[in-house]
């Protein structure tokens, strides 16, 4: 599927509170902004120490949890196909081998540009395979090809030892590439997705060589074939030479999740957009500052949560054991009666409960995912993706969100809705000291409407009452990243902006 030119990010704000800015001094030019952003990102990202060496990659851990994450009881949902139209961005989904074939019927093909079958497991000693799972028979391939969705074969090699063995051996690399060419040709696939997790820093050069050879040989055998990678949220070992790898890789699916992992010392969000040393915003800015073109970056989001045993019901309570995975559907069904809370620090839902001892679960819902999708539009990156398809089994709200954000109906204009909320901050970035005017329509004070400005650490720095209509001026803010949060009754919307 060819990627059309993208409309402005603002056109994808379904709910909008207008924030206009009165200038008081000249804005910083784009070159200065780039250098400032780079300095901030490197100061933050590179200052923290690496995690314990026994931390495993997110997809490796998910495969270990396959027994919990598999399901044979697929909840069918009939969702009408969207009107004729096109995607404005890449939307890339993984289909894990442990999910039933019947789950494919729930996928909305008009909202997917790519699917990746997970996975072909490499034998690192030889470059052969330990298993190809059901790649040669899975109905996913024919389903995707019949609907114009590109299909990739995901190739996995997990652990520093396994990646050292594979990448340090030219014969093993050559064997792997030859096998991948045959596997792509066997199913008429559109490319491969390389998922090498926990690559040691010693293999930095060999990894570049592998991708250069893979591109040459795959393109020669299958012209137009794509190469995607599952790229880490944080390059702990320094093994990813992004400046060179970008020449051989078409899609960097950045795994913007597992920041708080199953073995974390405290419970916390799987994919925080802000509020912690490592977060989704800083990960994406790191890739941009390393020179990866915007159009090649896909922000991967989690359709799963993690549930930890903890000390108390306090947010970020210390963990007393290892967390367990729940799919989005699993959270919704298993914890339907729990009271969901909202973290202002991380902009994420969570809840605590006490069957015997305290437990705490963090996951992403449509509200927190919408904030992340808005971030992807603000940064103008290539698109978004999810780990994993079918984890929302029977729930339509995450598909509905993708449709609102990334699907453009042919010849159809969005109907105006005078009572809808909308949230825009412009221009971006905002200069320090500028006042921000808020224009609000269609919301009554009886709904309990309020506006708060939250900084990058999740602290509320402004709290304002909003009139029924008209404008409200917010005093100038110091330099930093902020989120404007509007609460109207039970509805919450937000927009991210930067003050220089």
- Going from the C-alpha of 73 to that of each of 187, 353, 379, 388, 480, the distances in angstroms are 28, 26, 39, 17, 47
Per-residue pLDDT of the chain (500 residues; tens, 9 = 90+): 333 333 333 322 233 333 333 333 333 344 434 433 443 333 333 333 334 445 899 999 999 888 778 765 566 665 667 768 899 999 999 999 999 999 999 999 999 999 999 999 999 999 999 999 999 999 999 999 999 999 999 999 999 999 999 999 999 999 999 999 999 999 999 999 999 999 999 999 999 999 999 999 999 999 999 999 999 999 999 999 999 999 999 999 999 999 999 999 999 999 999 999 999 999 999 999 999 999 999 999 999 999 999 999 999 999 999 999 999 999 999 999 999 999 989 999 999 999 999 999 999 999 999 999 999 998 999 999 999 999 999 899 999 999 999 998 886 544 333 345 556 555 566 778 777 665 655 555 555 677 788 887 767 888 877 665 546 677 778 887 788 777 766 666 777 777 87
pLDDT confidence of residue 160? 97
What is the β-pairing status of strands 348-353 and 341-343?
antiparallel
Tell me how far apart the alpha carbons of residues 359 and 135 are, in angstroms, rounded to a whole number.
Answer: 38
* pLDDT confidence of residue 142: 98
pLDDT in the model for residue 37: 42
**Residue 55: which H helix or E strand, with range?**
none
| Tokens 């974390």 belong to residue | 264
State how far the Cα of 463 lies from the Cα of 452, in Å rounded to an integer.
Answer: 4
Closest among 76, 125, 69 to 97, alpha carbons compared: 69
Q: Which residues of 58-97 are buried (b: 16+ CB within 10 A; e: fewer)?
A: bbbbbbebeeebebeebeeeeeeebeeeebbbbbbbbbbb
Q: Would you state the pLDDT for residue 41? A: 39
Helix/strand/coil (H/E/C) assignment for every residue in 229-287: EEECCCCCCCCCCHHHHCCCCCEEEEECCCCCCCCCCECCCCCCCCCCCCCHHHHHHHH
- Give the chain's domains with CATH numbers: 9-28+417-499 (2.60.40.3080), 58-409 (3.20.20.80)
Question: What Cα–Cα distance (Å) separates residue 299 from each residue in 278, 284, 491?
Answer: 15, 8, 25
Output the pLDDT for position 231.
Answer: 99
Say how far apart CA 357 and CA 254 lie, in whole Å: 35
Give the per-residue pLDDT at 455. 80
Residue 347, sorted as left (phi over 0), alpha (psi -120 to 50) or beta, turns out to be left
Mode of pairing for the β-strands spanning 90-96 and 407-409 = unpaired
Q: What is the pLDDT of residue 4?
A: 35
From residue 143, give the alpha-carbon distance in Å to each of 92, 103, 394, 418. Answer: 15, 12, 19, 41
């Amino acid at each position: 599927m060819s990627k059309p030119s993208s409309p402005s990010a603002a056109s994808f704000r379904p709910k909008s509170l207008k924030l206009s800015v009165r200038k008081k001094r000249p804005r910083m030019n784009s070159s200065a902004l780039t250098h400032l952003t780079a300095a901030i990102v490197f100061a933050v990202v590179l200052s923290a120490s690496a995690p314990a060496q026994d931390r495993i990659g997110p997809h490796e851990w998910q495969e270990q949890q396959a027994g919990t994450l598999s399901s044979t009881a697929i909840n069918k949902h009939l969702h009408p196909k969207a009107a004729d139209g096109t995607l404005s961005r890449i939307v890339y989904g993984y289909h894990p081998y442990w999910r039933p074939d019947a789950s494919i019927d729930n996928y909305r093909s008009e909202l997917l540009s790519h699917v990746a079958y997970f996975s072909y497991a490499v034998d690192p000693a030889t470059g052969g395979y330990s298993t190809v799972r059901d790649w040669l028979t899975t109905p996913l391939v024919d389903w995707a090809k019949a609907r114009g969705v590109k299909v990739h074969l995901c190739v996995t090699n997990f652990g520093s030892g396994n990646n050292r063995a594979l990448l340090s051996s030219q014969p093993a690399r050559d064997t792997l590439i030859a096998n991948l060419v045959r596997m792509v040709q066997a199913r008429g696939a559109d490319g491969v997705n390389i998922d090498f997790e926990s690559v040691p820093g010693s293999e930095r050069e060999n990894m570049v060589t592998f991708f250069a050879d893979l591109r040459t040989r795959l393109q020669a055998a299958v012209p137009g074939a794509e190469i995607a990678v599952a790229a880490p949220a944080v390059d702990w070992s320094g093994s990813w030479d992004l400046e060179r790898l970008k020449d051989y890789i078409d899609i960097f699916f950045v795994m913007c999740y597992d920041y708080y992992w199953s073995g974390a010392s405290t419970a916390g969000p799987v994919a925080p957009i802000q509020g912690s040393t490592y977060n989704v915003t800083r990960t994406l800015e790191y890739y941009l500052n390393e020179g990866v073109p915007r159009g090649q970056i896909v922000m991967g989001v989690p359709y799963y949560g993690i549930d930890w045993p903890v000390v108390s019901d306090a947010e970020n309570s210390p963990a007393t054991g290892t967390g367990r995975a729940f799919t989005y559907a699993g959270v919704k069904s298993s914890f339907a009666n729990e009271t969901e809370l909202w973290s202002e620090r991380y902009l994420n839902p969570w809840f605590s409960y006490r069957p015997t001892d305290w437990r705490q679960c963090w996951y992403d819902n449509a509200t927190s995912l919408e904030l992340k999708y808005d971030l992807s539009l603000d940064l103008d990156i290539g698109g978004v993706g999810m780990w994993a398809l079918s984890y929302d089994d029977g729930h339509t709200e995450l598909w509905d969100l993708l449709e609102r954000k990334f699907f453009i109906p042919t010849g159809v204009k969005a109907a105006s809705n005078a009572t809808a909320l909308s949230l825009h901050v412009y221009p971006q970035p905002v200069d320090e000291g500028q006042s921000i005017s808020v224009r609000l329509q269609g919301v009554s004070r009886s709904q309990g409407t309020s506006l708060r400005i939250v900084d990058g650490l999740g602290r509320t720095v402004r709290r304002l009452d909003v009139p029924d209509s008209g404008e409200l001026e917010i005093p100038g803010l110091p330099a930093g990243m902020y989120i404007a949060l509007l609460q109207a009754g039970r509805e919450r919307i937000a927009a991210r902006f930067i003050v220089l």
